[in-house]
Every structure is written in C-alpha cells, then in structure tokens.
Structure 1
C-alpha cells in the first residue's frame, strides 16, 4: 500500500526519537531476505538508500542549492542519528545521484556507509562540495532504471532497498514511468517520492497541478511507499529531513494518512509526455 503526507500538516521529524523508532520492524524485511536468498549474502546494513535528485532546468539555482543543503543537513541531524542508532545494525548505506534526461545521470556520492556522526559528516561534506549543475528534460523512468543496478553493485547489502526520488515535474522523456516502477517493485525495491511544488505551474517549466497525485499514482511503489510533498519553499529542508527519517526508521507517515486510490490514476501517468508532444511535437 502507498501513502501520502503533506509536510505542512505534521512535523514528523521532530516527533521521531530513538524511543519512537526502537523495535519498529522494517515493512519488507522478509521480502529483502527473499530477494537476496539466492546469493546468500548476509546483510551488512539496515537500509540501502538511493537518493535520486532532480536537476532539470525547471529547478532554479536557489532550489538546487536548498535541495543539496537539505539532504546534507538531514543526514547530520540529531533526529536522523537517533533513528540510525535505533536500527538493528545501526547503519545504512547510501548513494546520491543527480538526474535529468533518460541518458543523463551523474553519481555524486558512490556507496557510503553511515553509522554515526563522523560518517554522516563525511557524506554531508561530499554532498555540499560537489558543484551544482542543471540539465534538460525530466526522465523519472531513466532515474529508476539507473538506480536499480546500483543495488546489485552495492558492497554493503541491507535489509531494505529504497529509492528516494525528488522532482518538480512529471516524466517527459524516455520510456513511460509506470512499467519501470513496477519492475523495481518486483525486485523488492521500495520507491518513495518527494514532489517539489513550490512554484505555480508554468508553460515554460512543464509543471503540472497535483504533482503529488502524479507521484502517488504513477511513481512510488512497494510496501509502505509514501510521498512527502513540498508546497512551501520555507519547508524544503524540513520535508527532506522528514522523508529520510521515515525511510531509515522503516515507517510510514502517521497522520494525516490517505490511502492512494486503487482505481485509475487521478492524474494521467503519461501527462508529461503528452504536454511535451503538444508543445514541441517530438
């Protein structure tokens, strides 16, 4: 089942403490063991986390900078480190890459283990030191396709596999997003979403209304998958911290929680491709 939470409605990050997350079972631990059973690899970390970050031209430079800072600050936050200590192994592995078009992905941070303040500081410093770039088009499907084999090459296997995707628009390049999402879910991967909705929809930026619905119905998937929507620029960093805390703790938002519609998507999963075709005919 997939879930949705609005960051403006609840400060989950501040509420999650070590006592909150201690003893919480990861929702897909059994699935994780099933997917790794063939190679008998013993889990070394609790979560394998892929941070897939949108750097398309629709993101302005200020948003890109705040996004980078948000991830760096979340990783070193007191709440994040408390959640980390409460895990069975007390550690996660993380990789961070930026994406735009279907053939445009760049790894900024290769797989790293975070097991405490020192390793968290090191990863945060790496994120902040990398130069900020922008690129054309938006291929969420390309990002998921790029992320899937990263797990197979991770030297630090974990109990859970999670792709964390942030973005401010629908898929408009590469293959459709839903088949790729379904392939990832079939591999035991959970996809969570961070739709960025801080600007009014614009003809020039390919923005759409109800991007959160699009992410809920077309992008996220897997046991306990959820969306944290950013609708206020001032809450950008807070939203990132909330999302990382939930992912590390293996939890879904507590309130307000709205089950995603089980029928037809509320927003067409091909809306981005249609808008691009209508405007530029290719």
Structure 2
C-alpha cells in the first residue's frame, strides 16, 4: 500500500524537496480544511458541519489511510471562513499519526460551537488558507486546501485570480460544494454550485470535488474525501458528478451579480 501511495504521489506531483526548511516534520500531506460559516448556514448546520469533520477524521478508514502513507502521518489545520476578512483558525496545525491525535482534533471541533458571519468570500478563504502553509513547521509531499461552502463568491476579490495564485504555488484545491437548499439559498445561492466549484474553485493535479445534496450525507462525504486526498490515488470517474464538464465561458462572477441584484432590491424604495 505504501508503494502504491508513493507512485500515485509521483504521478500527481510532489512538492519540491528543496522547499523544506531544516527542522520541519515530514508528512505525506499538509491539509487545510476550510469550512464555510457564512450567514446562509444555520446554527444546526454549523454544528452538523463540525461534527461531520470530527467523525470523518477519527474514522477507521481515514486513520488506516494515514497509516498506509509513504511516511505514515499528515498535518491538518481547520479554518472557518465567511466574508473577505473573516477567517478563524479553530484547530492550529496538528500532526496526526495516531488515533489519539485525531481524537484531540475532534474534541476541539466539538467542544463548542460558534455562530455564523456575514458574506461569502471563497477568494479570501483560499488566500488565507494558502498563507497558513507558510512556516507551519511541516513539509508535506503534497499541500491541499479542502474548501467546503454552500454558495458562490460574493465578497472580496474575484475567485478565479485567487484560485490561480494558489495553484501557482503548487497547492491543490479540492471542493465540497454543499447543494443543500433552503430559503436563504434560493435568494443568495445557485442551483449549479457543483459546476461553479468545478469551473471556478478547484484546481491542481488530481483536483476533485464531492457534492453534498443533503446534510445527512455530510460526514460520509467528508470521510470519503479525506481518504482520497490522503491516499493521493486517482479519483474514480463520477466523483465530481457524471453530468459535469468544465464549460468555456462559465460565469465565475455569478455570486457577485446576485449580491448586487439583491442589494439593489433592498435599496430601492
């Protein structure tokens, strides 16, 4: 298994060895879990999200995948995000090479739950997530940002330039678009959020996404996603939705346009 993971990592692109600083701990993956806590997320959904990540990261499947890596350990940080300047690190960079390490992260995630915040800035989240890799004390064969969210970018800079700047640093971006619809989503969201993530958010060697259509699926989707990310193996066809293809001319400014439209409605007498 370790040989398979090593070969797969070579195929999808390893981080250059020269980038390592003396004293950094070597890991298979440096992983930023970036979770949306914008106002469209209800308090119960925020709790489901935290508990889903906690359940996934302590699952036997994820722990076995970590142990089967070439090095056998990963580094993880958990960041919540909303508007352009609203990002909070909930779990600082933590080494996982045992079930106890994973349980400590889960305990932190579920010890308390905070409220949501205004706006949705995927661009801000990606930029801040990329910054978290700097001088974090770890050197991973791969660096991945795993971003989940229930709506398109509508705050801060456009998402595509932010994404491209992250990809230029050799960081892979995977996605977990939350396709759960409610009253807030009908006003501020889009029906094809999976296509938006495919065309505007994810990128890099082996990048993929797993849409979530119901909150009951969330923990399982995160578990599956973590296994694929940590193993570094090719993603099976259909993981991004069999009907989806990258589309030329997809409007990656759709979120900003929805914000302006709704704002104008509110401002009109």
Q: CA deviation at 1:40?
A: 5.6
Which of 237, 260, 263 is matched with 1:277 structurally? 260
Q: 1:136–1:149: structure 2 CA closer, same or farther, 3 Å change rule?
A: same
Which of 196, 211, 217 is matched with 1:235 structurally? 217
Normalised by the length of structure 2, the TM-score is 0.90
Q: Please show how residues 48-127 of structure 1 align to structure 2 within 5 Å.
A: 48-127=30-109
Q: Secondary structure at the match of 1:209?
A: coil
Between the aligned partners of 2:46 and 2:7, the Cα distance in structure 1 is 33
Between the aligned partners of 2:134 and 2:163, the Cα distance in structure 1 is 17
Between the aligned partners of 2:253 and 2:14, the Cα distance in structure 1 is 30
Tell me which residue corresponds to 2:173: 191
Normalised by the length of structure 1, the TM-score is 0.86
Contact 1:24–1:250 (CA under 8 A) maintained in structure 2: no
Q: Secondary structure at the match of 1:152?
A: coil
Contact 2:38–2:81 (CA under 8 A) maintained in structure 1: yes
Which of 165, 187, 192 is matched with 2:147 structurally? 165
Q: 1:254–1:132: structure 2 CA closer, same or farther, 3 Å change rule?
A: same
Deviations 1:127-173 (CA, angstroms, capped at 9, x unpaired): 11143221010000000111111111211121100000000000000
Q: CA RMSD in A?
A: 2.4
Between the aligned partners of 1:203 and 1:156, the Cα distance in structure 2 is 38
Deviations 1:48-96 (CA, angstroms, capped at 9, x unpaired): 0001000011011121111101110111100001101110111000000
Between the aligned partners of 2:94 and 2:185, the Cα distance in structure 1 is 39
Contact 1:28–1:160 (CA under 8 A) maintained in structure 2: no
Structure 2: tracts of 5 or more residues without a match: none
Q: Secondary structure at the match of 1:87?
A: coil
Tell me which residue corresponds to 2:29: 47
Between the aligned partners of 1:77 and 1:203, the Cα distance in structure 2 is 31
Asked if residue 149 in structure 1 is aligned to residue 101 in structure 2, the reply is no
Contact 2:25–2:137 (CA under 8 A) maintained in structure 1: no
- Answer 1 or 2: higher relative contact order, Cα 8 Å, separation at least 6: 1
Contact 1:27–1:250 (CA under 8 A) maintained in structure 2: no
Q: 1:48–1:39: structure 2 CA closer, same or farther, 3 Å change rule?
A: closer
Contact 1:105–1:146 (CA under 8 A) maintained in structure 2: yes
Between the aligned partners of 1:136 and 1:47, the Cα distance in structure 2 is 31
Tell me which residue corresponds to 2:160: 178
Which of 26, 32, 39 is matched with 2:15 structurally? 32
Tell me which residue corresponds to 1:4: none
Between stretches 36-45 and 113-122, larger displacement belongs to: 36-45
Tell me which residue corresponds to 1:223: 205
Q: 1:46–1:31: structure 2 CA closer, same or farther, 3 Å change rule?
A: closer
Q: Report how many residues are paired.
A: 262
Tell me which residue corresponds to 1:12: none
Q: Please show how residues 134-145 of structure 1 align to structure 2 within 5 Å.
A: 134-145=116-127
Contact 2:173–2:202 (CA under 8 A) maintained in structure 1: yes
Q: CA deviation at 1:205?
A: 4.8
